Amino acid sequence: MTQSLARLVKEIRSCTLCTEYLPLGPRPIIQVSSTAKILIVGQAPGSRVHETGIPFNDPSGDRLREWMGIDKEIFYDDKEIALVPMGFCFPGTGKSGDLPPRPECAATWRVQLLEQLPNIKLTIVVGQYAQAWHLDQGNKANLTETVVAWKSYWPKAIPLPHPSPRNNIWLKKNPWFEEEVLPSLRRKVKAVLK
């Protein structure tokens, strides 16, 4: 990690910008290195991830690793994979799941952090908030249309639905995702990590 990135990560991990809005308090969770080749952009940590301090340390992470065709050892190797959610802290829970990531996080940290990641070859963009910020042509009318259009972002980025078990119904309704998108994702991940 470069000195400038190390300083920035230290600032991020001590951030208290959104304290008044965070039911469990601030605990910014990221994994980065200037050598990382794959950037995974999620929404925000869930409560289990907040407890452990380990990104994607939950059933969503298990499914995401399966989708990518990699194990935990590779996934948590910051020299290879950067895990940078749109919001670094658990935002709380709403009626139908976790609340959206706090907007202050991206506005304050995102541009300067991404500038410190010069070796990214693939950005995996998980969920609608990440897609709205990260996709060059912008996201489509809804998440399904954005994921259907995955080839328009390829090979630089790939939009994915959230790997949460809450999305099992979406996955059943959209079998093309596992048949068409995931094999391409796995091949690209393997090629980038060689």
Which pLDDT belongs to residue 141?
87
| pLDDT higher at 140 or 14 | 14
Instruction: Give the pTM.
Output: 0.96
Residue 136's pLDDT band, with cuts at 50, 70 and 90, is: low
Q: What is the DSSP string of 112-178?
A: HHHTT-TT--EEEEESHHHHHHH-TT---SSHHHHHHTGGGTTTTEEEE---SGGGHHHHHH-HHII
Q: Is the pLDDT of residue 21 over 80?
A: yes
Residue 27's pLDDT band, with cuts at 50, 70 and 90, is: very high
Which pLDDT belongs to residue 33?
97
List beta partners, residue 94. Answer: 97
Q: What is the pLDDT of residues 10-19, one digit of tens each?
A: 999 999 999 9
Which pLDDT belongs to residue 24?
97
% pLDDT > 90, the chain: 92
Domains and CATH numbers, the chain: 5-9+30-86+108-193 (3.40.470.10)
Q: What is the pLDDT of residues 169-191, one digit of tens each?
A: 999 999 999 999 999 999 999 99
Q: What is the pLDDT of residues 98-111, one digit of tens each?
A: 999 999 999 999 99
Q: What is the pLDDT of residues 39-83, one digit of tens each?
A: 999 999 999 999 999 999 999 999 999 999 999 999 999 999 999
For residue 182, give the nearest of 164, 162, 165, 158 by alpha carbon: 158
Mean of pLDDT over the chain: 95
Q: Is 161 exposed, middle or buried (0-12, 13-18, 19+ CB in 10 A)?
A: buried
| pLDDT higher at 6 or 136 | 6
